């Protein structure tokens, strides 16, 4: 698993933190693919009864797609990008256990879409 996602286990609950606080946890290829793989694995783990998604740092849950990365894409990249974005949303939506998004700041674009795919959304301040 890459460093773009941090895990913390609390009994049967897994806290999954998007971990790119310097860019407000913007989604790049590494974060997206790690999230897809990780959520798929957590879904199969009978010891995990709930998943909480949050953002690292104190400014954002997720500011959306990493626009610096996206600016390098060409028209030929869009189809595969959309397919992988859909897979990320599906990984959240298709969890067989409760999924809670804990907003700790901004949720924009793809970050807000992730939250909409979860079962419950809450806001909090540290």
Kindly list the distances between the CA atom of residue 117 and the CA atoms of 90, 91, 110, in Å, as whole numbers in the listed order: 8, 9, 11
Which of 69, 75, 9 is closest to 45 using CA atoms?
Answer: 9
Q: Which residues contact 49 (CB under 8 A, 6 or more apart)?
A: 12, 13, 97, 98
Whether residue 126 lies in the annotated active site: yes
Q: Which residues are catalytic?
A: 126
């Amino acid at each position: 698993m890459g460093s773009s996602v941090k895990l913390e286990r609390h009994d049967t609950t897994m806290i999954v933190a998007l971990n790119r606080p310097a860019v407000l946890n913007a989604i790049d290829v590494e974060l997206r693919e790690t999230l897809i793989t990780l959520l798929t694995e957590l879904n199969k783990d009978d010891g995990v009864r709930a998943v909480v998604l949050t953002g690292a740092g104190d400014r954002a849950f997720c500011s959306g797609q990493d626009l610096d990365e996206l600016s390098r894409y060409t028209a030929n990249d869009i189809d595969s990008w959309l397919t992988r974005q859909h897979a990320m949303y599906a990984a959240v939506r298709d969890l067989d256990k409760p999924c809670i998004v804990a907003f700790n700041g901004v949720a924009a674009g793809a970050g807000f879409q992730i939250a909409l795919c979860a079962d419950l959304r809450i806001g909090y301040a540290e």
